[in-house]
Amino acid sequence: MKQIGRYEIIRRLGKGGMGSVYKALVPVIDKVVAIKLLDPGELLVMLLGEDRLREIFTFEARTMAAFNQPFLVTALDFDQDEQGRPFFVMEYICNNLGDMMGESFRIEQDSRIIGAVKVLHYGRQLLAALDFLHHNNIIHRDIKPQNILVTDQDTLKICDFGMALVEGISFSGPDTMQIGSPCYTPPEQRKNPQLVDGRADLYSAAVLLYRMLTGKLPGMQSFSLSLVNPLYDHSWDAFFTKALQWNPAARFQSAGEMLADFAALSLRQPGAAIGCRYPATGQPQLPLRCEPVNVCSSRASTVFGVNGLFRPVMPVCNRLEAQGEMVSDLATGLLWQRQGTRYPVTFAGAHQYVEQLNRQRFNGCRQWRLPTINELQSLLPDGEPGLGAEAFFQPLPWVWSCDRHGQHESWYVNMDMGFAGVQDVNCLNHVRAVASAMP
């Protein structure tokens, strides 16, 4: 497909039960947007019929078009393609919380543990968005990581309102059809999805927050974070014990109430980082791959030295020294730019930035380049932020590497969450240039 309506299609981003999502360009001004096209599976058409699906799809677009809140995705345009299928246009956002957490379709598998400071940041935004929705009589009914996007400014935006209950009007199907996602859906929604209220979304949000902090889904009996991590005191246990109650009457009764308790949570001082790797005995430096590669995800564990969640198997123990606008790492023999880009750029912009550094002989050096994933990972902290290399650098949350992932994507490192990931080359990340130290 080359075009949907007046929009030029770049490529398809994904497909769900109701429709397909595409990356596209607005004509003339070449602005990148996302388009959701009604493209249901055969089973859904058989169950609901084309007229009902069109009604649901249009209702979703109208709901999203009315939003005026920073933590919600909004619909910007609505039209039909040449086949008469409706579509709506949204802002294109690169990051998805599900991908950032490393949650797969095998939901029972562990996901990445996210630093508590980041979870507090995201949790406040999520609950503020739910407070707005519930105030306007909108129950999302499908809060899960894949339905939460993250902007280049690190702002959450809830998307996918196809299952939302809006002032009593909602997506509905056969009694046997599941509304919501397994493991995130509260028990009352599984029994009678048409009669739930905002407390159903709050349960789903609590599951999400717990999973971010632990990498696991909450168990049936205990939610005691204080027993497994010294960062958390008993107030965290009390919060999740209440938030994850199966009885809605025993939970937080509003998003505002839950947000107030969540925002009041605090953290203890982190302990020391452990488990990092010095250069081998008798080896003055730890050599890291410096040449770019084009590598698929299945080979990344071997090439990058990462585990199944794309985190380094053995972090590097840096020996850093500040040298004006540069930082030298005696453990790896690398010179790093201390500041990096002021604003995030595309992958092409990253290469242009490095070329500009070399033309200007930044800090007297003409050998600046984009780092490999292996080199970037050497700067990751082993534990909570505040322990390690980041103390020497201007914080850059997401940083491009020189490594590619096929034709349209490249590898980057999420420095906040400590993993390597893949993004479209038109996404915006920062650059921290590197050079090999002179012998």
The residues annotated as belonging to the active site are: 142
Q: CA dihedral in degrees (53, 158, 234, 256; nearest 10)?
A: -90
Contact 385, 116 (CB under 8 A): no
Bridge partners of 20, per DSSP, are 15, 37
* Distance, C-alpha 106 to centroid of its chain: 18
Q: What DSSP letter does each residue of 114-142 carry, written as one string?
A: PPHHHHHHHHHHHHHHHHHHHHTTEE-S-
The dihedral sign for the CA sequence 357, 359, 360, 362: positive
Q: Which helix (H) or strand (E) holds 189?
A: helix 187-191
Cα torsion at 159, 143, 192, 246 (round to 10°)? -170
- Rg (C-alpha) for the chain, rounded Å, is 23
Residue 23 pairs with which residues in a beta bridge? 11, 34
The CB-side HSE value for 387 (13 A sphere, CA atoms) comes to 17
Q: Which amino acid is at 33?
A: V
3-state secondary structure of 15: strand
* 340 secondary structure, DSSP code: -
In the chain, what is the greatest distance between 2 CA atoms, to the nearest angstrom? Answer: 73
Check: CB of residue 406 under 8 Å from CB of residue 294: yes
Backbone dihedral angles phi then psi of residue 322, each to the nearest 5 degrees: -80, 135
- In single-letter form, the type of residue at position 392 comes to F
What's 33-54 look like in SS3? EEEEEECCCHHHHHHHCHHHHH
> Contact 334/289 with Cβ under 8 angstroms?
no
SS3 label, residue 76: strand
What tokens appear for 304 in the block? Answer: 């990058």
Contact between residue 392 and residue 320 where contact means Cβ atoms under 8 Å apart: yes
* Contacts of 247 by beta carbon, 8 Å cutoff, 6+ apart: none
Interatomic CA distance for residues 215 and 181, integer angstroms: 18
Distance, CA of 124 to CA of 433 (rounded, Å): 33
